[in-house]
């Protein structure tokens, strides 16, 4: 069971819309979990200049690339690509084997 509190008026927040909002929120949370746990983003010591934004963009690009490639097990595939960099670069069209 899930409970939620909202200040949205009833005409604006039907049951269907509340469900969509809730599902949308948890979709974002799964993305944050990947960034926090798999990439260790919260523990990253890079905190100055543009570097944090650049690293966040690279992390987002990696996750997006895997999802657009049709892969559902993001964590497993990120770890596999981390140890097979030559394969990853070939899949990205950056390098030929």
Nearest to 63 by CA among 44, 37, 86, 45: 37
Query: What pLDDT, on a 0 to 100 scale, did the predictor assign at position 9?
Result: 84
Stated pTM of the model? 0.58
Query: What pLDDT, on a 0 to 100 scale, did the predictor assign at position 97?
Result: 64
Q: Could you say which residues of the chain have pLDDT below 70? A: 2, 26-28, 97
Query: What pLDDT, on a 0 to 100 scale, did the predictor assign at position 62?
Result: 82
**Counting Cβ atoms within 10 Å, is residue 74 exposed (0-12), middle (13-18) or buried (19+)?**
middle
């Amino acid at each position: 069971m899930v409970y939620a509190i909202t200040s949205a008026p009833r005409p604006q927040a039907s049951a269907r819309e509340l469900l969509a909002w809730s599902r949308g929120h948890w979709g974002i949370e799964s993305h944050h979990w990947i960034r926090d746990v798999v990439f260790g983003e919260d523990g990253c010591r890079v905190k100055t200049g543009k570097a944090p934004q650049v690293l966040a963009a690279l992390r987002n690009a990696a996750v997006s690339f895997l999802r657009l490639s049709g892969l559902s097990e993001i964590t497993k595939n990120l770890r596999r690509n981390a140890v097979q960099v030559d394969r990853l670069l070939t899949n990205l069209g950056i390098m030929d084997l």
